[in-house]
C-alpha cells in the first residue's frame, strides 16, 4: 500500500529590514532587479512589490527614466575617451614610423639587416650543444 505523499510548500517570509536592504541595493544602482532575483532566489515580481512598498521615490505604475542631462554627460565622457585613445594611437603610429625609418637607415648606411630574413641559414650559435656531466 502506497502512502499518500505530497510535497510540502515552503513559504519563506522575509523581515522588513531584509526587504529594505534589497530595495536599497536596487536604489543604489549596484544591482538590477534581475541580478537581485538570481542572487537571492527571489522572484522579480516580489522584488518589484518591495520596491513599490519600501522605496522612497519609486511608486507603482511609475517608470524610472534616465535624465537627459546624464545621457549628454555620458556622451561627452565617451567622446573625451575616444579623443584620448585616438591620441594614444597617433603616438604609437609615430613610434612605429620612427622605428621603421631607423631599420631602413641601419640597412642602407650600416649594411645591417635588422629585419628577419627567412632565406638565410641559421647561425652557428644556434646548434645544439651536448652537455657532459661528470664529477671532478
Question: What does the pLDDT look like over 38-47, one tens digit per residue?
Answer: 888 888 889 8
- Among candidates 38, 40, 36, which has minimal Cα distance to 25? 36
Question: What does the pLDDT look like over 75-124, one tens digit per residue?
Answer: 888 899 999 999 999 999 999 999 999 988 888 888 877 776 656 665 66
Q: What is the pTM of this model?
A: 0.39
For 59-122, the three-class secondary structure string (H helix, E strand, C coil) is: CCCCCCCCCHHHHHHHHHHHHHHHHHHHHHHHHHHHHHHHHHHHHHHHHHHCCCCCCCCCCCCC
- For 46, the 3-state DSSP assignment is helix
Residue 36 to residue 10: CA distance in whole angstroms? 20
Residue 50 to residue 16: CA distance in whole angstroms? 9
The three cell numbers locating residue 42: 527571489
The number of angstroms, rounded, from the C-alpha of 1 to the middle of its chain's C-alpha atoms is 59
- The model's confidence at residue 132, banded by pLDDT at 50, 70 and 90, is low
Residue 35 per-residue DSSP state: H
Amino acid at each position: 500500500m502506497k502512502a499518500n505523499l505530497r510535497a510540502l510548500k515552503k513559504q519563506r517570509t522575509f523581515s522588513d529590514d531584509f526587504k529594505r536592504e534589497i530595495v536599497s541595493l536596487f536604489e543604489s544602482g549596484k544591482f538590477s532587479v534581475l541580478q537581485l532575483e538570481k542572487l537571492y532566489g527571489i522572484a522579480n515580481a516580489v522584488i518589484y512589490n518591495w520596491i513599490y512598498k519600501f522605496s522612497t521615490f519609486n511608486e507603482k505604475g511609475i517608470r524610472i527614466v534616465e535624465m537627459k542631462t546624464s545621457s549628454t554627460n555620458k556622451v561627452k565622457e565617451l567622446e573625451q575617451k575616444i579623443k584620448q585613445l585616438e591620441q594614444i594611437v597617433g603616438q604609437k603610429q609615430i613610434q612605429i614610423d620612427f622605428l621603421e625609418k631607423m631599420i631602413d637607415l641601419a640597412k642602407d648606411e650600416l649594411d645591417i639587416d635588422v629585419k628577419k630574413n627567412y632565406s638565410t641559414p641559421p647561425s652557428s650559435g644556434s646548434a645544439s650543444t651536448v652537455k657532459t656531466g661528470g664529477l671532478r
